[in-house]
Structure 1
Amino acid sequence: MAPATQYELSPPPGDAISALAFAPNGSTKLLAASWDKKLYAYDVAKPDSSLIKTYEHRAPVLDVCFGDNENEAYTAGMDWVVNKVNLETGEMTEMSKHAAPARCVVYSPAHGVLISASWDCSLNLHNVRDPSSTPIRIPLPGKPHAVAASPSKVVVAMTGRIINIYDLQTIQNLFSSGQTELKLWQQRESSLRYLTRAVACMPSDAGYATSSIEGRVAVEWFEDTAESQARKYAFKCHRQPAPDGDGDIVYPVNALEFHPVHGTFASGGGDSTVALWDAEAKRRLKQYQKFPDSIAAMVFSKDGKYLAIGVCPGFETGQEDYSGEGKTSILIRELGDNEAKGKGAK
């Protein structure tokens, strides 16, 4: 069995990490969005010379995703703008502008649809394969905090414990029909009582997981049958015993990511730890050693070989003058054979 290895990318972003994204098609290119107003491109297969290029933005970059290939990316930022970035030339093209910071951006290569979510309580839908098409604005019932896409669905987690689920084919059909009203596939109330921090969709397209500021993760399935809904569950995690022995110190679960091959998932928290979970068996597979600071973001490579972990100070200690400068790092774990494999998997 090949041993797992772990190393740090250099140089790291100059301030807190907001998002990480691996390129499609098994590429080793990794993008990191940062509060220092830059997007960083790395090659994780070259630990000693991993930085490829940086891309200056006008404001902190809150999210990033790849497009159809490893040279095309989309960013969402504090300047309210959703940008397309040509990673070869550095050229940036404005896709749309919201009326408040653009918090999340996800892309479906199967449908050619880019979806951005803003704190102005809206989604912007973009048909990226038709540059002449106008983005469609969809109002939301709450402020979005996390968005994730499965092969057929988009899950939007908002304030008020609201979760909207949209069908990607329905979104794609909007552009050909000329309509501007998007039919909601389903609306649910979150299984978690407190604010959602992250959402991730199962690669099998069967369901999704959400996490909260209150050290909990919930796992749910899309299928709307009594039997399927009875399978959903939530559990406590990323907690540490209080020094005085009175209860637990509870940390936010800032990051969730499903393994693209095995369907297990990783969670990263404000307690500076990363854990691997088997969603089907409802058990923890592994907890890694403590990292230097809070886990801000995580992503698996598309072939499941690498796990990128963004580490920087969180707000757990209540800093008034927050800065991730000089305290930010991106660690790459090259997974060992079967490291992320579920206990019941063959």
Structure 2
Amino acid sequence: MSGAAAPPQPPFVGGRELSDPPSDGISNLRFSNHSDHLLVSSWDRTVRLYDAHANVLKGQFAHGGPVLDCCFQDDSSVFSACADCKVRKLVFSSGEEEILGRHGAPVRCMEYSSASAQLITGSWDKTLKCWDQRGASGPDRTLIGTYPQPERVYSLSLVGHCLVVATAGRHVNVYDLRNMSRPEQKRESSLKYQTRCVRCYPDGTGFALSSVEGRVAMEFFDLSEAAQAKRFVFKCHRIFDGQYDTVYPVNTIAFHPIYGTFATGGCDGYVNVWDGNNKKRLYQYARYPSSIAALSFSRDGRLLAVASSYTFEDGNKPHEPDAIFVRNVGEVEVTPKPNVLSPPQN
């Protein structure tokens, strides 16, 4: 029996979808500081390296458990944080894998400092560890130090020598990598609920925190009264149905490397771009098929990688396939828009 053909669906405008995506939840993605290489970690126990410009999977490494974070050392050498408690170095050009050491519980997050050649890892074992692969021989030959934290480590961010650590219990510690003996600052999050993400401002003056309750806090390192007066919190990733707001976790924050504006991604499937200095939203992209699990701008800010991947905020239920989209970023989407003051009246 014949019938009219279904009307063609309009193309999704969220960007170019990468081939060969992970088969389970995407935990993080990061662009290289040297190229359009994109590194992706996943609950499918892999770390994958893509050429985002060419849409080519360049390689992958299998792990002994879900991979919760990853970061670059250089264009070919990377690190991974795994739920099997191990910290690994992976070299895509040679296929070599090296276990740098381990934590006492799953490794949740990591950052690499090219200035000090240190890898910093945060774990659910309530510690930070610093590693240097150039270390002496021994089972933990690369371990520089272990630093107890007040609770499980959820997120890390690094700018210059300044490291910000966000843990369970809404604790925030600020360290100088050159002296990790104790935090330079111990803070409590301005947000009332669990921290999801912390990201430092590119200019090194402060950091943004996001929470499970649809809010972002803009914070400053300078403890002077004038600097602290600039702190603020704003609501985001909420959908109003005419009567009630549905509030979604804000999973990820990514700063534009040129303009210092930033994108947030939430479990509502939206990516919003914000101008923090002028306290306004610049842009909202079309809704993605699933939760936004991670975001990353390329080194020149021309590209934005978006992980559309269900984060199980509503438990185990049918969901759209995990996908990675790479979109071209327009100037109008990320350029700050200063508030225009009216001329004085005579």
TM-score (norm. length: structure 2): 0.90
What is the DSSP-based 3-state SS (H/G/I as helix, E as strand, rest coil) of the residue aligned with 1:59? coil
Does the aligned pair in 1 maintain the 2:110–2:156 contact within 8 Å? yes
Read off the aligned partner of 2:298 and give its amino acid letter.
Answer: S
Note the C-alpha offset of 1:128: 3.5
Which whole-Å CA distance do the structure 1 matches of 2:96 and 2:20 have between them? 23
Counterpart in the other structure of 2:82: 77
What is the DSSP-based 3-state SS (H/G/I as helix, E as strand, rest coil) of the residue aligned with 1:313? coil
Does the aligned pair in 1 maintain the 2:265–2:271 contact within 8 Å? yes
Counterpart in the other structure of 2:42: 34
Question: Structure 2: which 5+ runs fail to align?
Answer: 1-12, 340-346
Which whole-Å CA distance do the structure 1 matches of 2:333 and 2:269 have between them? 20
- Residues 1:333 and 2:342 are matched in the alignment: no
> For structure 1, which segment, 130-139 or 300-309, has the greater mean C-alpha deviation from structure 2 after superposition?
130-139
**Superimposed CA distance per residue, residues 173-195 of structure 1 (whole angstroms, 9 cap, x where no aligned partner):** xxxxxxxxx12111111000000
- 1:169-184 equivalent positions in 2, closer than 5 A: 169-171=178-180, 182-184=181-183
Note the C-alpha offset of 1:129: 4.1
Match of 1:343 among 313, 337, 341: 337
Which whole-Å CA distance do the structure 1 matches of 2:190 and 2:302 have between them? 31
Does the aligned pair in 2 maintain the 1:5–1:335 contact within 8 Å? no
Which whole-Å CA distance do the structure 1 matches of 2:21 and 2:124 have between them? 28
Note the C-alpha offset of 1:201: 0.8
Does the aligned pair in 1 maintain the 2:219–2:231 contact within 8 Å? yes
Aligned CA RMSD, in angstroms, stands at 1.7
CA shift in 2, pair 1:169/1:335, >3 Å:
same
Identity across aligned pairs (percent)? Answer: 41
Which whole-Å CA distance do the structure 2 matches of 1:34 and 1:74 have between them? 13
Note the C-alpha offset of 1:339: 2.9
Counterpart in the other structure of 2:248: 251
Counterpart in the other structure of 1:54: 60
Read off the aligned partner of 1:220 and give its amino acid letter.
Answer: E
Counterpart in the other structure of 1:116: 121
Aligned length: 323
Which whole-Å CA distance do the structure 2 matches of 1:86 and 1:323 have between them? 35
Which whole-Å CA distance do the structure 2 matches of 1:61 and 1:331 have between them? 20
Note the C-alpha offset of 1:225: 0.8
Which whole-Å CA distance do the structure 2 matches of 1:306 and 1:170 have between them? 35
Counterpart in the other structure of 2:3: none
**Superimposed CA distance per residue, residues 7-32 of structure 1 (whole angstroms, 9 cap, x where no aligned partner):** 0100111111001011122x010011
Read off the aligned partner of 2:171 and give its amino acid letter.
Answer: I
Does the aligned pair in 2 maintain the 1:217–1:237 contact within 8 Å? yes
Read off the aligned partner of 2:148 and give its amino acid letter.
Answer: P
Which whole-Å CA distance do the structure 2 matches of 1:266 and 1:155 have between them? 19
Which whole-Å CA distance do the structure 2 matches of 1:230 and 1:90 have between them? 51
Does the aligned pair in 2 maintain the 1:215–1:252 contact within 8 Å? yes
Read off the aligned partner of 1:142 and give its amino acid letter.
Answer: E
Note the C-alpha offset of 1:131: 5.6
Note the C-alpha offset of 1:96: 1.4
- 1:18-29 equivalent positions in 2, closer than 5 A: 18-25=27-34, 27-29=35-37
Counterpart in the other structure of 2:5: none
- 1:154-165 equivalent positions in 2, closer than 5 A: 154-165=163-174
CA shift in 2, pair 1:11/1:131, >3 Å:
farther
Note the C-alpha offset of 1:306: 0.9
Counterpart in the other structure of 2:285: 288
Which whole-Å CA distance do the structure 2 matches of 1:111 and 1:250 have between them? 40
Counterpart in the other structure of 2:72: 66
What is the DSSP-based 3-state SS (H/G/I as helix, E as strand, rest coil) of the residue aligned with 1:339? helix
Counterpart in the other structure of 1:225: 224
Read off the aligned partner of 2:63 and give its amino acid letter.
Answer: H
Does the aligned pair in 1 maintain the 2:14–2:285 contact within 8 Å? no
Question: Structure 1: which 5+ runs fail to align?
Answer: 172-181
What is the DSSP-based 3-state SS (H/G/I as helix, E as strand, rest coil) of the residue aligned with 1:227? helix
Note the C-alpha offset of 1:323: 7.6
**Superimposed CA distance per residue, residues 227-255 of structure 1 (whole angstroms, 9 cap, x where no aligned partner):** 1111110010000014xx43200000001
